[in-house]
Amino acid sequence: MTPRVMIVEDEEALGLLLRYNLEAEGYAVEVVTRGDDAEMRLLETVPDLLLLDWMLPGISGIELCRRLRARDATRTLPVIMLTARGEEQERIRGLATGADDYVVKPFSVPELMARVRAMLRRSKPEVIASLLKAGDIELDRETHRVRRSGRELHLGPTEFRLLEYLMKSPGRVFSREQLLDGVWGRDVYVDERTVDVHIGRLRKAVNRGRVKDPIRTVRGSGYSFDDQFAMA
């Protein structure tokens, strides 16, 4: 079951960034850029979660949220509000209107992804798989444990997130820049070579004495979790 997320955001670049990251996490994503369009769309279909910008053309996020709470079909729809800095009063109003959570722009994408996952785990545990499996590797997102052939691997926090990120999309090649955005977060300025360092550590921890390397280096492009390995 693929969890469905609707984004209502009129800043095109932000909408794209969120879509990209949510799709990489395995969600089905729809982006709507106006409040009134979102209201119409939500009459037709109700997603598993709504990311709702505050300031929108058509009707505002806050008004849309209030209306959604008044309808049976969307009364319990999880809503995360995206608010601009300095809208403290509005945030309080937002929560009072029935938003379940809010993040302040500019936010860290990995943090928002974690909030989305946490909220879905509460509201729809059946759509969030906590265990990722590929070949003889098992990664548990709840307990943060990783096993290979049943034996526990000891990964640092960054290596864990890196492995989790790659394992979610076997076969997909991520550039170093994409990995930095998805694993370290957009606001963190680190050199792209940092990715290589952590990939090296991850490989060392995962492959200890083994021949089969699940991580593929794609020359000139980046890295991916080997889908051949995932099939094995």
- Distance of closest approach, residue 213 Cβ to Ca ion, in angstroms: 44
- Distance of closest approach, residue 65 Cβ to Ca ion, in angstroms: 14
Piece of 46-54, 112-120, 140-148, 224-232 that binds Ca ion (CB under 5 A): 46-54
10 binds Ca ion (CB under 5 A): yes
55 binds Ca ion (CB under 5 A): yes
Piece of 39-47, 51-59, 63-71, 97-105 that binds Ca ion (CB under 5 A): 51-59
136 binds Ca ion (CB under 5 A): no
Task: Compute how many residues bind Ca ion; rule: CB under 5 A.
Answer: 3
- For Ca ion, give the closer residue by CB, 34 or 124: 34
Q: How far is CA 70 from CA 8, 87, 124, in A?
A: 19, 24, 21
Query: Taking CB positions, which residue lies at the least distance from Ca ion?
Result: 55
- For Ca ion, give the closer residue by CB, 88 or 152: 88
59 binds Ca ion (CB under 5 A): no
Piece of 3-11, 22-30, 97-105, 202-210 that binds Ca ion (CB under 5 A): 3-11
90 binds Ca ion (CB under 5 A): no
Residues that bind Ca ion (CB under 5 A): 10, 53, 55
